[in-house]
Structure 1
Amino acid sequence: MYLDIIFKVVGGLGIFLYGMDNMSGGMQKLAGKKLKKILAALTTNRFIAIFMGFFVTMLVQSSSVSTVMTIGFVNASLLTLEQGLGVILGANIGTTVTGWLLVLHLGKFGLPIAGIAAIIFVFVKKDRSKTKALTLMGFGLIFLGLELMSTGLEPIRSMPEFLNLFKLFVADSYFGAFKAALVGACITALVQSSSATLGITITLALQGLIDYPTAVALVLGGNVGTTITAFLATLNASTNAKRAAYAHSIINIFGVCWVISIFPYYLKVLNLVVDSKDNITIGIATAHTMFNILNVLFFTPFIGPLSRLLKILVKDNGKMDNKVTKLDALMVATPGVVVGQTKIEILTMGQYIKEMLFTLEEIYAKQKEMSEKKIERLQHVEDSLDLYQKEITDVNFMILNKDLSNNLIEETRKNLEICDEYETISDYCLRIAKALKKIQDNDIELTEVERNILFKLNESTELLFREVNISFEEKDRERFLKAIIKADKITSDFKRARAYHLKNASQAGVPVMLSTGYMDILNYYRRIRDHLFNIIEVFSRLQ
Structure 2
Amino acid sequence: MPGIMDILLKVVGGLGIFLYGMESMSEGMQKLAGERLKKIISALTTNRFMALLVGVVATVIVQSSSVTTVMVIGFVNALLMNLSQALGVILGANIGTTVTGWVLVLKIGKYGLPMAGLGALMGIFSKDSKGKYKSMLIMGLGMIFFGLELMSDGFRPLRSMPEFIELFQKFHVTNFGTLIMVATVGALLTALVQSSSATLGITITLAAQGLIDVRTGVALVLGLNVGTTITALLASIGAKPNAKRAAYAHTIINVVGIMWILPIYNQYLMFLDKFTDSAVETTRYLATAHTVFNIVNALLFVPFLPLLSRMLEKFVKGEEKVERKFTHLDSRILETPSLALDVGKKEIISLDNVIKGMFEYLKEAIGANLDSEDKKVRMVFETEDRIDLIQKEMFGYLKELLKKDMLDSNVDKARNQLALVDEYESLSDYITDIMKLHLKLKGNQLTLNTEKKSGIYELQEEIEEFLEFVAVAYKSNQKDIMIDAVNKSNRITAKFKKLRDEHLARIVSGDVDPMVSSIYMDILTNYRKLKNHIYHIAEVISGEKAI
Tell me the TM-score normalized by structure 1: 0.94
Matched, 1:368 2:368: yes
Counterpart for residue 158 of structure 2: 156
Deviation digits for residues 371-419 of structure 1 (CA, Å, limit 9, x no counterpart): 5121123234333433432333332222212110100000111011101
Counterpart for residue 282 of structure 2: 280
Residues in 1 aligned to 2:315 and 2:477: alpha-carbon distance in whole angstroms? 46
Shift of 1:506: 6.7
Counterpart for residue 50 of structure 2: 48
Residues in 1 aligned to 2:201 and 2:232: alpha-carbon distance in whole angstroms? 21
SS in 1 for 2:106: coil
Counterpart for residue 484 of structure 1: 486
Counterpart residue type for residue 544 of structure 2: S
Counterpart for residue 34 of structure 2: 32
Contact 1:361/1:459 (CA < 8 Å) preserved in 2?
A: no
Contact 1:186/1:225 (CA < 8 Å) preserved in 2?
A: yes
Shift of 1:361: 4.0
SS in 1 for 2:278: coil
Counterpart residue type for residue 428 of structure 1: Y
Matched, 1:400 2:368: no
Shift of 1:201: 0.6
Contact 1:467/1:479 (CA < 8 Å) preserved in 2?
A: no
Counterpart residue type for residue 11 of structure 1: G
Residues in 1 aligned to 2:127 and 2:53: alpha-carbon distance in whole angstroms? 35
SS in 2 for 1:275: coil
SS in 2 for 1:391: helix
Residues in 1 aligned to 2:187 and 2:482: alpha-carbon distance in whole angstroms? 55
Shift of 1:496: 4.6
Q: Which runs of 5+ in 2 are unaligned?
A: none
Residues in 2 aligned to 1:117 and 1:100: alpha-carbon distance in whole angstroms? 21
Deviation digits for residues 422-441 of structure 1 (CA, Å, limit 9, x no counterpart): 12212211221232133123
In the alignment, which of 534, 540, 544 is matched to residue 540 of structure 1?
544
Deviation digits for residues 3-54 of structure 1 (CA, Å, limit 9, x no counterpart): 3212211111111111111111111112211221234311111000001001
Shift of 1:507: 6.8
Stretch deviating more after TM superposition (75-84 or 258-267):
258-267
Counterpart for residue 226 of structure 1: 228
SS in 1 for 2:217: helix
Deviation digits for residues 44-84 of structure 1 (CA, Å, limit 9, x no counterpart): 11000001001100111110011111111111111111110
SS in 2 for 1:540: coil
Counterpart for residue 302 of structure 1: 304
Contact 1:477/1:540 (CA < 8 Å) preserved in 2?
A: no
Counterpart residue type for residue 447 of structure 2: E
Residues in 1 aligned to 2:11 and 2:412: alpha-carbon distance in whole angstroms? 41
5 Å-filtered alignment, 1:378-457, equals 378-457=380-459
Counterpart for residue 209 of structure 1: 211
SS in 1 for 2:370: coil
Counterpart for residue 94 of structure 1: 96
Counterpart residue type for residue 370 of structure 1: L
Residues in 2 aligned to 1:376 and 1:172: alpha-carbon distance in whole angstroms? 74
Counterpart for residue 20 of structure 2: 18
Shift of 1:495: 4.3
Tell me the TM-score normalized by structure 2: 0.94
5 Å-filtered alignment, 1:206-355, equals 206-319=208-321, 322-355=324-357
Counterpart for residue 6 of structure 2: 4
Counterpart residue type for residue 540 of structure 1: E
Stretch deviating more after TM superposition (61-70 or 346-355):
346-355
Change (3 A) 1:164 1:435: farther
Shift of 1:242: 0.7
Counterpart for residue 107 of structure 1: 109
Residues in 1 aligned to 2:53 and 2:477: alpha-carbon distance in whole angstroms? 31
Shift of 1:324: 4.0
Deviation digits for residues 202-252 of structure 1 (CA, Å, limit 9, x no counterpart): 011111111101111111111111101010011110111111101101111
Deviation digits for residues 281-310 of structure 1 (CA, Å, limit 9, x no counterpart): 000001101111111122111111111111
SS in 2 for 1:19: helix
In the alignment, which of 114, 128, 131 is matched to residue 129 of structure 1?
131
Matched, 1:57 2:59: yes
Shift of 1:258: 1.9
Contact 1:360/1:458 (CA < 8 Å) preserved in 2?
A: no
SS in 2 for 1:196: helix
Stretch deviating more after TM superposition (342-351 or 518-527):
518-527
Deviation digits for residues 507-543 of structure 1 (CA, Å, limit 9, x no counterpart): 7685454234323322322322232233234331469
Residues in 2 aligned to 1:229 and 1:542: alpha-carbon distance in whole angstroms? 40
SS in 1 for 2:368: coil
Residues in 2 aligned to 1:61 and 1:259: alpha-carbon distance in whole angstroms? 25
Residues in 2 aligned to 1:177 and 1:380: alpha-carbon distance in whole angstroms? 62
Contact 1:16/1:196 (CA < 8 Å) preserved in 2?
A: yes
Matched, 1:73 2:75: yes
SS in 1 for 2:20: helix
SS in 2 for 1:325: coil
Matched, 1:173 2:148: no
Shift of 1:459: 2.3
Residues in 1 aligned to 2:41 and 2:15: alpha-carbon distance in whole angstroms? 35
Stretch deviating more after TM superposition (136-145 or 509-518):
509-518
RMSD: 2.1
Fraction of identical pairs, as percent: 48
Counterpart for residue 194 of structure 1: 196
Counterpart residue type for residue 175 of structure 1: G
Shift of 1:362: 4.7
Contact 1:494/1:522 (CA < 8 Å) preserved in 2?
A: yes
5 Å-filtered alignment, 1:493-508, equals 493-501=495-503, 504-505=506-507
Contact 2:77/2:243 (CA < 8 Å) preserved in 1?
A: yes
Counterpart residue type for residue 71 of structure 2: M
Counterpart residue type for residue 474 of structure 1: S
Contact 1:481/1:536 (CA < 8 Å) preserved in 2?
A: no
Q: Which runs of 5+ in 1 are unaligned?
A: none
SS in 2 for 1:273: coil
Residues in 2 aligned to 1:166 and 1:541: alpha-carbon distance in whole angstroms? 66
Counterpart residue type for residue 237 of structure 1: A
Residues in 1 aligned to 2:271 and 2:480: alpha-carbon distance in whole angstroms? 64
Residues in 1 aligned to 2:162 and 2:7: alpha-carbon distance in whole angstroms? 15
Residues in 2 aligned to 1:425 and 1:221: alpha-carbon distance in whole angstroms? 56
Residues in 1 aligned to 2:393 and 2:41: alpha-carbon distance in whole angstroms? 20
Stretch deviating more after TM superposition (467-476 or 148-157):
467-476
Shift of 1:318: 4.7
